[in-house]
Amino acid sequence: MSETTKVVAKMRDRAGKGGARSTRREGLIPAVIYGDKQPPVMIAVEPKTIARELHKEGYFNHRLQIDVAGTDYQVLPRDVQVDPVTDKPLHLDFLRIGPDSIITVQVPVHFRNEAASPGLKRGGVLNIVLHEITVRTRADSIPEYFEVDLTGLEIGHSVHLSTIAVPEGVSFVSRDAAATVASIAAPTVVREAAAQAAADAAAPATADAAATPAAGAAPAAAGAAPAAGAAAPAKK
């Protein structure tokens, strides 16, 4: 189950682009809390309280407790708008969750014991089909991640959705229990090295052929003929 992190924020007086720009000039990040059949709440978030969370794996699965002037809101991150140049967050969206909220989230998949897979030891490749699995669950039951044990898997073996252990209260959105999560694929044959070796072997033969006179060619004269108009040798 994911942990809950506390985030400090304050109320925003103005909505819209003008209010957002004003908030950024104050060094804060404009944000909104919505959902749970309640009116949206416009807030401004302290960057240092959210910066670390933004770079965590599964950020959108981590519950946050946002403290706004003494009032706590239980939320899940839902969207982050970033500056295309600086990559700094420009706006944050949070979904308000209640005690009975059922939500849809994507949970990352972790793979372990790669060294215990005979197929990988023989040069096979781990082909990951699903890096994340979509589930429906209560907000307080979101798995941190799903774990796949690769022990004993040979080349050609696959891991299917039906083999993943699911905590109580969590269900897969996909109805295809046979969906492939990952497989051990045969190693790729690399032909570039063999081609290069063949090219290197052919190179000396080509050079030798260039140095050998062509069949039927006259041998070079031992001495050069006198140039036209040159004086005849003096008589003794």
CB 158 within 8 A of CB 129: no
Residue 232, domain member (yes or no): no
Residue 229, domain member (yes or no): no
Query: Which residues form the domain of 142?
Result: 103-185
CB 2 within 8 A of CB 145: no
The helix (H) or strand (E) run that includes residue 202 is helix 192-211
Residue 177, domain member (yes or no): yes
Kindly list the averaged pLDDT for each block of 10 residues, start to end, along the chain of length 236. Answer: 78 80 90 91 91 84 90 93 91 90 92 95 94 92 92 96 92 92 81 56 54 48 45 47
Query: Distance (Å, rounded) from C-alpha 210 to C-alpha 6?
Result: 78
C-alpha distances (whole Å) from 114 to each of 81, 148, 155, 222 are 36, 10, 13, 74
Structural domain ending residue among the three candidates 39, 64, 97:
97
Q: How many domains, the chain?
A: 2
Q: Give the pTM.
A: 0.66
